[in-house]
C-alpha cells in the first residue's frame, strides 16, 4: 500500500445530518477535533427531539411506502451488494474521512476497516432470503406457522473507536431485515457514516430509509431511545450509558435492545505454550491495538509462573518499539488517544493503582511528538490483588495489568470479574485445558491461541453480565431485527 498519506485540510468534510437522502446542514453546536493533531476540523449541528422525530417519521414512511420490506428479499440483497461494491470503489475517500477525526491510522482504515465493512454488508445481504418462518405441528385441519417481520424503524447509536465498522454492525442487518433506521454516530467521529449513507442511496436504497442525525448522547441519543416510532435499539458504548439506554427503552416501549458494553478481558497464558515470542506478539497486539481503545482489549494478563519471566520481558521490549505518527501518515501504526480528557483519565487510573501498591513495569506516559495529538506509550503494571483499579476498571487505553498464577484453578479464579464478561483469551498447547477454559470462563467470546476478531462474520459477538445483551454479527444479529408472529389458521 503506497501513497496512502494525506493532509487533513485536503479532506472535504460532509458536515451535517443526512435526512431523506440529502445532507442537511445546521448550526455549529459541537466542535469536532482531530485526535491526530488536536485541531478543530469543523463545528457540527446537534439534532434535538424535533429533528430526530423528522428522521424517524421519514424512515417509517419510506419503509411503508417504498416496498422495501415487502419486495422479494433478493431485491434487497441486490441493493446491499451494490452498496458493498461502492464502498470498495470509494475506499480511499471513506478511509480518509474515517482517519481524519478518529484514532484509526490510514494504513489500517484502508487495509482492514473498509474491506471489513464491505464484506460485512455482503454477509448480511446473503441473509435477506435465508431466514423465514416455520410450519408448526398441529391438527391436520389447522395450519400453524411462525412468521418473521421487521420492526419498521430501528435506532442505532454507534461509538467513536471504529466508526464505520461499528455503525455497519447496527445499520446493515436492520436494513437487510426490511427495516428503516436512524443512526447517531459519535459526535467525535461524525463524517464517514454520512458518506456511507450517501453511497447506500446511490446503490438504490430508498432515500429516507437510512437517516443519520448528529449530536450528543444526552440530547440526540436520548431522543432516539425514546421515540415511539423506533421499535428496536442497538447501542455500543460504556456499561453506564448502556443501562441508561435500556431504561429509556423500557420507559418508552418497552422495546428490545442490543447492547455491546464495556469489558475487562483476561488473557490466560499457561506454561505449555510452544513459543513465547508468538504469544508475546499476540498479547501485545491485544492491549495496544487502537491504543487499547477497543471494547475487547485484552487488558488483564494472567500468566503461569513457569513462563512469566520470559513473557513479561518480551512484552517490555515490545513496549519500547512504538512510534507516534499522525494517523494520516502512511507509516503510522499506533493510534492517538481520542481526547485530552480520556488521556488524563488513563494516566490517573495508572497513578492511582501505583499509589495503591501496584508495581509499574513500564510507565504509561505521554509520548514526545510534533503532531500536536495526544499519544500515550504502552504501560505494564504488576498487580497484587483483584481490588486494584487497573484490574477492576475498563481503562480504554494501552495498559496491561498482570498477575501470576501457579495452578489452573487459580487462573480461572483470577479471570472472574464482578461486572464484565465480554471476551477472554486462552493460550495453551493442551486441548483438554483449552476445553475446560472454554466451559469455565464467563465471557461472550473466548479465543484460543489467538486474540481479536476475524472476518468470520457468521460468529456473533456480544457479552455477558455488565458487558451487554444480545449479539452483533452472525445470524443472531439479523434475527434481532425481526419480530416473530404466530399464526394459527383453521380450514372453513
Active-site positions read 260, 295
User: Quick check: 229 and 56 in contact, CB under 8 A?
Assistant: yes
List the grid coordinates of 338: 481520542
Distances (CA, A) of 486 to 23, 135, 176, 351: 41, 10, 22, 57
Q: Whose grid coordinates read 496512502?
A: 4
List the grid coordinates of 440: 469455565
- SS3 label, residue 427: strand
User: Quick check: 190 and 217 in contact, CB under 8 A?
Assistant: no
User: Quick check: 146 and 485 in contact, CB under 8 A?
Assistant: yes
User: Quick check: 304 and 269 in contact, CB under 8 A?
Assistant: yes
Q: Give burial (CB, 10 Å; 0-12/13-18/19+) of 346.
A: buried
3-state helix, strand, coil in the chain (%, to 5): 40, 20, 40
User: Distance between CA 336 and CA 36 in Å, rounded?
Assistant: 6
User: Distance between CA 417 and CA 263 in Å, rounded?
Assistant: 10
Amino acid at each position: 500500500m503506497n501513497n496512502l498519506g494525506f493532509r487533513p485540510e485536503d479532506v472535504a468534510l460532509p458536515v451535517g445530518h443526512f435526512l431523506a437522502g440529502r445532507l442537511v446542514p445546521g448550526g455549529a453546536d459541537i466542535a469536532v477535533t482531530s485526535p491526530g493533531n488536536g485541531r478543530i476540523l469543523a463545528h457540527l449541528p446537534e439534532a434535538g427531539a424535533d429533528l430526530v422525530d423528522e428522521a424517524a417519521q421519514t424512515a417509517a414512511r419510506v419503509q411503508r411506502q417504498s416496498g422495501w420490506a415487502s419486495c422479494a428479499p433478493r431485491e434487497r440483497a441486490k441493493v446491499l451488494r451494490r452498496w458493498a461494491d461502492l464502498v470498495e470503489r470509494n475506499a480511499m475517500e471513506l478511509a480518509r474521512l474515517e482517519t481524519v477525526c478518529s484514532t484509526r491510522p490510514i494504513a489500517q482504515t484502508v487495509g482492514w476497516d473498509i474491506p471489513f465493512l464491505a464484506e460485512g454488508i455482503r454477509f448480511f445481504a446473503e441473509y435477506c432470503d435465508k431466514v423465514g418462518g416455520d410450519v408448526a405441528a398441529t391438527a391436520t385441519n389447522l395450519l400453524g406457522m411462525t412468521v418473521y417481520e421487521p420492526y419498521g424503524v430501528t435506532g442505532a447509536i454507534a461509538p467513536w473507536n471504529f466508526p464505520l465498522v461499528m455503525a455497519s454492525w447496527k445499520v446493515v442487518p436492520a436494513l437487510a431485515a426490511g427495516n428503516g433506521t436512524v443512526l447517531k454516530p459519535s459526535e467525535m467521529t461524525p463524517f464517514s457514516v454520512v458518506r456511507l449513507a450517501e453511497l447506500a442511496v446511490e446503490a438504490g436504497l430508498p432515500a429516507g430509509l437510512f437517516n443519520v442525525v448528529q449530536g450528543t448522547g444526552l440530547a440526540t441519543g436520548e431522543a432516539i431511545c425514546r421515540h415511539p416510532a423506533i421499535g428496536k435499539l442497538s447501542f455500543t458504548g460504556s456499561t453506564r450509558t448502556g443501562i441508561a439506554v435500556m431504561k429509556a427503552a423500557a420507559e418508552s416501549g418497552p422495546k428490545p435492545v442490543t447492547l455491546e458494553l464495556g469489558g475487562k478481558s483476561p488473557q490466560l497464558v499457561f506454561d505449555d505454550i510452544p513459543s513465547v515470542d508468538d504469544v508475546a506478539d499476540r498479547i501485545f497486539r491485544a492491549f495496544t491495538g487502537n491504543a487499547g481503545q477497543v471494547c475487547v482489549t485484552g487488558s488483564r494478563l494472567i500468566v503461569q509462573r513457569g513462563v512469566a519471566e520470559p513473557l513479561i520481558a518480551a512484552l517490555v521490549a515490545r513496549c519500547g518499539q512504538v512510534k507516534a505518527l499522525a494517523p494520516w501518515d502512511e507509516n503510522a501504526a499506533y493510534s492517538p488517544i481520542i481526547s485530552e480528557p480520556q488521556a488524563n483519565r488513563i494516566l490517573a487510573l495508572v497513578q492511582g493503582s501505583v499509589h495503591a501498591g501496584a508495581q509499574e513495569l513500564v510507565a504509561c506516559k505521554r509520548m514526545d511528538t510534533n503532531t500536536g495529538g495526544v499519544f500515550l506509550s504502552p504501560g505494564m503494571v504488576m498487580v497484587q490483588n483483584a481490588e486494584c483499579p487497573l484490574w477492576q476498571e475498563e481503562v480504554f487505553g494501552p495498559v496491561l495489568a498482570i498477575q501470576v498464577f501457579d495452578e489452573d484453578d487459580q487462573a480461572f479464579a483470577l479471570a472472574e470479574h464482578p461486572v464484565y464478561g465480554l471476551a477472554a483469551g486462552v493460550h495453551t498447547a493442551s486441548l483438554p485445558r483449552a476445553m475446560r477454559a472454554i466451559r469455565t470462563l464467563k465471557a461472550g467470546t473466548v479465543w484460543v491461541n489467538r486474540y481479536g476478531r476475524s472476518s468470520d462474520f457468521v460468529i456473533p459477538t456480544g457479552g455477558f453480565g455488565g458487558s451487554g445483551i444480545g449479539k452483533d454479527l452472525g445470524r443472531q444479529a439479523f434475527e434481532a431485527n425481526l419480530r416473530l408472529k404466530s399464526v394459527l389458521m383453521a380450514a372453513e
